[in-house]
Structure 1
């Protein structure tokens, strides 16, 4: 923004015939600016600088001020940095202050006394004599020479004696002019804010050679005797010192004083003053590190004056869970992981998409898929990184990169992802393009540019980065040696010869993005062009992430590129393009983002618009501008630093203003340009607590590339590959799958805000524990409660009532309100009501009295960084027996794996104690021990099963069974106690005998087989047991259930025995007993289930129907199995490809268990059982484990169905099915 020089103005006014005004300008040039001594001009080579005829500096524009400063700094650099460093803004400000002071003097002459400074000369003559005055003024002219004197065109005496044009006095010569200059030189040296630059105008050499101080003292006294002037009625010397006294140490403060107090005195210099302020402000503005900058809790006061226009979510939008992937790096990692070349988007393995979907992700953000700037890549090569790609945010155009397979590869990936419920997300970079983009080539008018470099130090002599013979592009030279990051690059159109300097993209927080070109959003054509590109992306991606979206808000564009007059831009040199408010709003009437949101709502309504926005503008972006989602950097930054009170304030302030803002936050633990999540949060409880919060807070959780795998490398936007050879941390991954993935799959519970409430954890002393986050949420009738202590110290207290929130009612009214925890969890008043809830991580279920929560809240105790997420919250009414009350009291606040089990443990406590006494822990360890010496197993079994305790268990069990037995065998009312005792003892002896036989089969070298001639078959059976997982445990489990079979009517009542065992939860009790004995949980669980199932089918292998086993053929067995739902489930029977199949390992377990049971209970010969095994095994192997083929093969051999088929057991339903 250039200004005409005095010479240009004189020529212009003379051409217009305004000679008087031209002469006044010539006269004003005599006293215009701050002074520079001859010695400083010589030392710093300032002979060619813009000096006026009086010798002071004249800056016709800001470029001259920068050039003046650059010459001084260049000479200082040549001196090894020993000299001073100056700032152009300060130089310009000092010249401007002196110019305005001269203008005040000129106005004083015009309005008060034209002879004022001649009277000052007279005062000096009286004090030091005319000769003394002459000496002082002449010495001043020599040390601070006018241009004609410095250049040798005039002598000091000649210049001083000459009368200037349009002189105001009647006396000849320039004494009055020089006296004014000398007085202002004194003020310059007095001014503390001028102090750092005194080397330019130091008056001490002058004072050493002439009586300057007494001269000026007398001159000031003469001026003070004249009439007062100005808005405050001051004498002229006091008026000239007023800015300095108001703000002694600040040039900006002195200019501000002049602007506020001297508006009428400044007149048409106001624009120049504002420009000077802007230049100074720009230089003094602090530079912050790149990124969102300091994060603090929002207050939303400014939004009270903004309109509310949230965009409506489509039904899928609230539940998006997004994973970020740097495309080139990911493809390289996949190539290594799968051992094949994976370079294009369509080559991403299905397994990877399956894995993402299985972990709860339904949004995949692909970073770096657009065609990138080749200039960006070349810059990185020139700076020493030959492997680098261009930055993912320096784009040539919005076309899918050819190296990723182009649009066809994207379409293939989109189809595969959609089949798994995954939507693709892409970046849109609206603020800038690559410096060699299609627009820079063809439409340079869309960018912010200028005709000359903004700073004289800028040079552009490096490599032409264009790659297009029609035009050239040059990065500023100092970028390559890391000495500067210039704000512009050079573009030359070789066809027209036009040269322009285009600004780089910039957010004002740190350095410019030197491989980009800044779009000019005050240009309507540029805005329309960007909107067209946005719509192009929206039509191809259901989720768009707008990079650095906050830059394009009007307030940001104003601050960065078109600041208010008098305010420096956040980007160097932009104060020159200052615009008044009206002019700015005329150029950009509406918010760009509001127009974009409305356009997409009409043209691409299924697109989720996600804005990366910082600078406390998050609420504005979603509430007023209408973005669906906005970055919430406070989540990462505050929780990382454990600034818990600040983040709680963030949530509280947000929901108290408008809960719908919270719903639209994107929460993350790292951003692509931030350190990795594990670098910031570690891999332990702090990480998983924060990650659990991210997974359960309203909004959109976003995971970084490699976050779940625990990768530590931060992938640069130019990376083609990972430079660290990292493998997934399997333990870290498993913990995600156990703790985080289940939460992500319940996002419907957490994503909304309709039921969201935040609570204070109140300590016993009444203070609030700010380190603990406690909040509830829900969907429909489901509720969840989250507790997280984000500190090392233990946390303990009570949560009772929510923090205030804004209740937006259906009639449009609003009111701030709170709710109790009981209301938040959906609890109702009433006696004997209990709340049940599951802690997601441990799986434990908890019981709390509803009345306790309603009246006293919920007591909470959390260790450091402990997180608890309670789901499946329900409320029940206690039964008539008070079982839930008893359970609640017995647990004392502890959790249990299953409420039903816990109630069962409580109700059947006596039965379980008796059973555990009968079958000691040693019994269940026998199945796991090494084979004992001959005879040792029997001894061990007797020790493990106590006969007396077994009889006692049978007695207790008979009582608990009651009428369910359906038999008079154990009814005390029918038989005498003595007879009953004998019966129970007989049952116990039968069980003991069976156990002896069973355990003999578990040892290959045991001598306890029923018949010596079957010892070889016995050994084979024992080997089969040892080789079959869970077989030994299942056999032992069946033995432990035999007392129930005895009670149920021996072998004839096996179905009733199974029903009784199931009602008593014996499969669970067997599992618990085996696990306590050191058995793997999965083996113990399968053994318990098979043992109970076998208990219900003993009649097939023992008793009256036992003979069926000898004649049962494979086909009949297969048909019987197909008719038995429960057995089919246990054995993994399934339909696939039109056939019915059985799981081989499960069949082997069942057959081994039944074979052993046949020997133990039915007296079957081991050799015959082994023969049946061989027959059945062969049939299934021949059939490839297809039951249909077994049946068909049997039918082909024997067309007539065998008799056992007609006697097949009735179909069974799975437990729990109607």
Structure 2
């Protein structure tokens, strides 16, 4: 298998796939069993045609048999399963892919060799492979619990009467282990907590991560903030036995032999910058998601004022397996939220089914999903968006946030605008994030030297001519209907005369 040695593209496009369900869908599509080794090359061609730079296969590692039993009995999950499938059968419920038994590729998916063949198929189209690494915990029935119990958090003072703990006998000795959890929620009862306060555990987990890294080109690290010293102490009251973190030396060790290996942190609670300093190449941007969904355009604009060196390391999304599907989460705002998140600096994460407008969120334990009709309007929109963000200006250009001032009234607050430049290319993007027509002047634009310019809107396919002196002095007047956007390509023209148009 050839190695992908070139650096990752700036602002890569990443596509998350639910591996088991995708392979099941492919088996139905091609009317034959499909595992990772036998995925038709046409599927890779489709990824490449959509401008996908990396595929994140969610859920390839060996899952827990005990986790299946727990998922089928968990009262808190029953309503989620019902919302997705109505009345699921017992066989529709499996183990969570985040309760990992071992970092071996599940045999049901074809095993390690099948994954290697799939990865080689991606590489043939210059597409990388991302897999999950779940540092905080492992499956409650992992063999490591018997062979190396001190890797996991246990204490005689833990109460086995609490759902956060469980008793287990190992080589004749009874331990009370902790389930994995974060400090704000009860424990995940299908998991056992890794004890990062011990140097020996941190070394073991770094070695485990290094071995798993040989099978892919990057990791999406689950709940990465849980294993920082401050959060671990807050959750468990235990202090690391040396003044060193887990992530920085572990990442450094992997990258010492794989400089092009990508680390993505799923991280929350305002700890994104801290994880970037630990060595992560990209960190989740849940803040942008939340502000687009729940907050005001001013709050979105405020978030985009962050330093560009920070923003370049964010991964933007409006969907992933943990969140509601975009049509239900954002309603009429879904398209403009997707457009903004994909055209600001940072990586873009898309979710399997997002391009087709799927609206049912599938819990990760389910082994079946309902058939949903394709929403052709949404599919056409993403066809446009994917083609647009393939433009090199979004990967090699310079970005800056623009100001919007009043054109009468206060609706200008609803517009977020920004500009990309690369050599002689200029793009100006303006989005209306509210449910009413909004207008304003966008400024300060990059100084335009020529007398006359054409602004061609890639969305409406309309062309406008503007005198440079008007743009340089007054800014660009825009008027946008609810949840609409402009993407202007700016080009110089030589003819005299201009048309000062209202841009709608």
**Superposition TM-score, scaled by structure 2 size:** 0.91
Provide the residue aligned with 1:370 in structure 2: 61
- CA distance in structure 2 between the aligned counterparts of 1:673 and 1:766, rounded to whole angstroms: 39
- CA distance in structure 2 between the aligned counterparts of 1:530 and 1:378, rounded to whole angstroms: 27
Q: CA offsets per residue over residues 423-450 of structure 1, 9 Å max, x none?
A: 1110000111111113212111011101
* Aligned counterpart in structure 1 of residue 137 of structure 2, from 402, 425, 432: 432
Provide the residue aligned with 1:237 in structure 2: none
Q: CA offsets per residue over residues 686-742 of structure 1, 9 Å max, x none?
A: 2111111122111111111211111122121112121x22232233212321x3122
Provide the residue aligned with 1:851 in structure 2: 469
* Aligned counterpart in structure 1 of residue 320 of structure 2, from 666, 671, 674: 671
Q: Does the CA-based 8 Å contact 2:452-2:468 persist in structure 1?
A: yes
* Aligned counterpart in structure 1 of residue 293 of structure 2, from 606, 624, 640: 640
Provide the residue aligned with 1:614 in structure 2: 268
RMSD: 2.2
Find the residue that maps to 1:861 and give its secondary structure: strand
* Aligned counterpart in structure 2 of residue 711 of structure 1, from 354, 358, 364: 358
Provide the residue aligned with 1:488 in structure 2: 165
Cα displacement (A) at 1:609: 0.7
Provide the residue aligned with 1:334 in structure 2: 26
Structure 2, unmatched stretches of 5+, are 79-89
- CA distance in structure 2 between the aligned counterparts of 1:418 and 1:515, rounded to whole angstroms: 35
Provide the residue aligned with 2:375 in structure 1: 729
Q: CA offsets per residue over residues 1150-1170 of structure 1, 9 Å max, x none?
A: xxxxxxxxxxxxxxxxxxxxx
- CA distance in structure 2 between the aligned counterparts of 1:788 and 1:894, rounded to whole angstroms: 13
Find the residue that maps to 1:762 and give its secondary structure: strand
Residues 643 and 719 from structure 1, CA distance in 2 versus in 1: closer, same or farther, beyond 3 angstroms? same
**Mapping for residues 670-819 of structure 1, pairs under 5 Å:** 670-682=319-331, 684=332, 686-722=333-369, 724-737=370-383, 739-746=384-391, 748-751=392-395, 755-764=398-407, 769-801=412-444
- CA distance in structure 2 between the aligned counterparts of 1:848 and 1:315, rounded to whole angstroms: 40
- CA distance in structure 2 between the aligned counterparts of 1:317 and 1:337, rounded to whole angstroms: 32
Find the residue that maps to 1:512 and give its secondary structure: coil
- CA distance in structure 2 between the aligned counterparts of 1:771 and 1:862, rounded to whole angstroms: 10
Q: Does the CA-based 8 Å contact 1:324-1:704 persist in structure 2?
A: yes
Q: CA offsets per residue over residues 765-822 of structure 1, 9 Å max, x none?
A: 5968332110012334322111000001211111223xxxxxxxxxxxxxxxxxxx13
- CA distance in structure 2 between the aligned counterparts of 1:438 and 1:618, rounded to whole angstroms: 33
- CA distance in structure 1 between the aligned counterparts of 2:211 and 2:423, rounded to whole angstroms: 37
Q: Does the CA-based 8 Å contact 1:505-1:513 persist in structure 2?
A: yes
Q: Does the CA-based 8 Å contact 2:11-2:348 persist in structure 1?
A: no
Provide the residue aligned with 1:419 in structure 2: 124
**Mapping for residues 84-99 of structure 1, pairs under 5 Å:** none
Q: CA offsets per residue over residues 1060-1092 of structure 1, 9 Å max, x none?
A: xxxxxxxxxxxxxxxxxxxxxxxxxxxxxxxxx
Provide the residue aligned with 1:1004 in structure 2: none
- CA distance in structure 1 between the aligned counterparts of 2:94 and 2:395, rounded to whole angstroms: 37
**Mapping for residues 265-304 of structure 1, pairs under 5 Å:** none
Cα displacement (A) at 1:648: 1.3
Q: Does the CA-based 8 Å contact 2:282-2:314 persist in structure 1?
A: yes
Find the residue that maps to 1:530 and give its secondary structure: helix
Cα displacement (A) at 1:386: 4.1
* Aligned counterpart in structure 1 of residue 95 of structure 2, from 390, 398, 401: 390
* Aligned counterpart in structure 1 of residue 176 of structure 2, from 475, 480, 501: 501
Q: Does structure 1 residue 545 correspond to structure 2 residue 250?
A: no
Q: Does the CA-based 8 Å contact 1:538-1:604 persist in structure 2?
A: no
Residues 320 and 409 from structure 1, CA distance in 2 versus in 1: closer, same or farther, beyond 3 angstroms? same
Q: Does the CA-based 8 Å contact 1:328-1:719 persist in structure 2?
A: no
Provide the residue aligned with 1:822 in structure 2: 446
Q: Does the CA-based 8 Å contact 2:14-2:54 persist in structure 1?
A: yes
Find the residue that maps to 2:92 and give its secondary structure: coil
Provide the residue aligned with 1:629 in structure 2: 282
Q: Does the CA-based 8 Å contact 2:158-2:177 persist in structure 1?
A: no
- CA distance in structure 1 between the aligned counterparts of 2:271 and 2:109, rounded to whole angstroms: 35
- CA distance in structure 1 between the aligned counterparts of 2:186 and 2:421, rounded to whole angstroms: 45
Provide the residue aligned with 2:149 in structure 1: 444
Provide the residue aligned with 1:1209 in structure 2: none
Residues 848 and 503 from structure 1, CA distance in 2 versus in 1: closer, same or farther, beyond 3 angstroms? same
* Aligned counterpart in structure 2 of residue 660 of structure 1, from 278, 299, 309: 309
More helix by share: 1
Q: Does structure 1 residue 350 correspond to structure 2 residue 74?
A: no
Find the residue that maps to 1:317 and give its secondary structure: coil
**Mapping for residues 954-1103 of structure 1, pairs under 5 Å:** none
* Aligned counterpart in structure 2 of residue 360 of structure 1, from 39, 42, 51: 51
Find the residue that maps to 2:10 and give its secondary structure: helix
Provide the residue aligned with 1:651 in structure 2: 304
- CA distance in structure 2 between the aligned counterparts of 1:769 and 1:751, rounded to whole angstroms: 29
Structure 1, unmatched stretches of 5+, are 1-312, 459-484, 563-576, 578-583, 802-820, 896-1218
Q: Does the CA-based 8 Å contact 1:642-1:790 persist in structure 2?
A: no
Find the residue that maps to 2:491 and give its secondary structure: strand
Cα displacement (A) at 1:380: 2.3
Residues 837 and 849 from structure 1, CA distance in 2 versus in 1: closer, same or farther, beyond 3 angstroms? same
Residues 317 and 546 from structure 1, CA distance in 2 versus in 1: closer, same or farther, beyond 3 angstroms? farther
- CA distance in structure 1 between the aligned counterparts of 2:404 and 2:53, rounded to whole angstroms: 34
Q: Does the CA-based 8 Å contact 1:822-1:857 persist in structure 2?
A: no
Find the residue that maps to 1:450 and give its secondary structure: coil
Find the residue that maps to 1:441 and give its secondary structure: helix
Cα displacement (A) at 1:894: 6.4
Aligned residue pair count: 486
Cα displacement (A) at 1:557: 1.1
- CA distance in structure 1 between the aligned counterparts of 2:147 and 2:324, rounded to whole angstroms: 38
More strand by share: 2
Q: CA offsets per residue over residues 1046-1066 of structure 1, 9 Å max, x none?
A: xxxxxxxxxxxxxxxxxxxxx
Q: Does the CA-based 8 Å contact 1:792-1:865 persist in structure 2?
A: yes
Q: Does the CA-based 8 Å contact 1:700-1:751 persist in structure 2?
A: no
Q: CA offsets per residue over residues 1138-1159 of structure 1, 9 Å max, x none?
A: xxxxxxxxxxxxxxxxxxxxxx
Provide the residue aligned with 1:1077 in structure 2: none
Structure with more relative contact order (C-alpha pairs < 8 Å, separation 6 or more): 2
Cα displacement (A) at 1:337: 2.7
Q: CA offsets per residue over residues 261-291 of structure 1, 9 Å max, x none?
A: xxxxxxxxxxxxxxxxxxxxxxxxxxxxxxx
Cα displacement (A) at 1:528: 0.6
Q: Does the CA-based 8 Å contact 2:411-2:438 persist in structure 1?
A: no
Q: CA offsets per residue over residues 474-520 of structure 1, 9 Å max, x none?
A: xxxxxxxxxxx711111102xx4200011010012222111111111
- CA distance in structure 2 between the aligned counterparts of 1:502 and 1:735, rounded to whole angstroms: 50
- CA distance in structure 2 between the aligned counterparts of 1:618 and 1:434, rounded to whole angstroms: 27
Residues 382 and 766 from structure 1, CA distance in 2 versus in 1: closer, same or farther, beyond 3 angstroms? closer
**Structure index of larger Rg:** 1
Q: CA offsets per residue over residues 537-592 of structure 1, 9 Å max, x none?
A: 32221121000001112221121112xxxxxxxxxxxxxx5xxxxxx36x131122
Cα displacement (A) at 1:377: 1.4
Q: Does the CA-based 8 Å contact 1:677-1:704 persist in structure 2?
A: no
- CA distance in structure 2 between the aligned counterparts of 1:847 and 1:750, rounded to whole angstroms: 24
- CA distance in structure 2 between the aligned counterparts of 1:720 and 1:884, rounded to whole angstroms: 64
**Superposition TM-score, scaled by structure 1 size:** 0.39
- CA distance in structure 2 between the aligned counterparts of 1:610 and 1:894, rounded to whole angstroms: 39
